[in-house]
Amino acid sequence: MPALTHLIEFEIPAEWVDYNNHLNDAYHAVAFSQAGDVFMERIGLGPEGRQTTGRTIYTLALVIRYLAEAKLGERIAISIQVLETDRKRVRYWLEARRVGDNELVSTSEQVLICVDQTGERPRAADFPPNVGAALQAVAASHTDLAIPLEAGQGLALRRRSTSSVTP
């Protein structure tokens, strides 16, 4: 059975817990960012790959959804699903689950772009060949996974037509 790719596992430290006694919203973003760094390392754009190629990634968009409380000392595991990729961009889905009961705590959908930093100014560029191949391989391993219902949905309080305005 196909599964998301495991990236990291961590225990929630005291400095990440807020006044509601659960993982602060900003630290969900930190944890997802750290998981993304692990993924970049795995596909060849870690520190060595960035140094060698002059390529890096910039985040173009991200959405985080908070689904369940996570408290001090609990262990959280983050996994990734590559939703789509092209020569310069990747869109992926991250899930943070509580270790033990496997409850989904939060999700993050992100779009990143490859950037060449070797010129006068950073500019969008193709992924280095080895990175593109690694991304394609991960994406291929995820093709049998269901696309999460929330993926690509953006944010809205409610849907409305442009012809009607509700106070």
Q: Where are the domains of the chain?
A: 5-141
The stretch 65-85 carries a mean pLDDT of 96
pLDDT level of residue 3 (50, 70, 90 thresholds): confident
The stretch 35-44 carries a mean pLDDT of 97
Identify the CATH number of the domain defined by range 5-141.
3.10.129.10
Which DSSP string corresponds to the chain? ---PEEEEEEEPPGGGB-TTSSB-HHHHHHHHHHHHHHHHHHHT-SHHHHHHHSEEEEEEEEEEEE-S---TT-EEEEEEEEEEE-SSEEEEEEEEEETTT--EEEEEEEEEEEEE-SSSS-EE-PPPHHHHHHHHHHHHHTTTSPPPTTTT----SS---TT----
**What is the structure's pLDDT at 164?**
47
| Whether residue 87 has pLDDT greater than 80 | yes
pLDDT level of residue 113 (50, 70, 90 thresholds): very high
**Mean of the per-residue pLDDT values for the chain?**
92
| Whether residue 140 has pLDDT greater than 50 | yes
Which is higher by pLDDT, 33 or 160? 33
pLDDT level of residue 166 (50, 70, 90 thresholds): very low
- pLDDT above 90 covers a percentage of the chain that reads 87
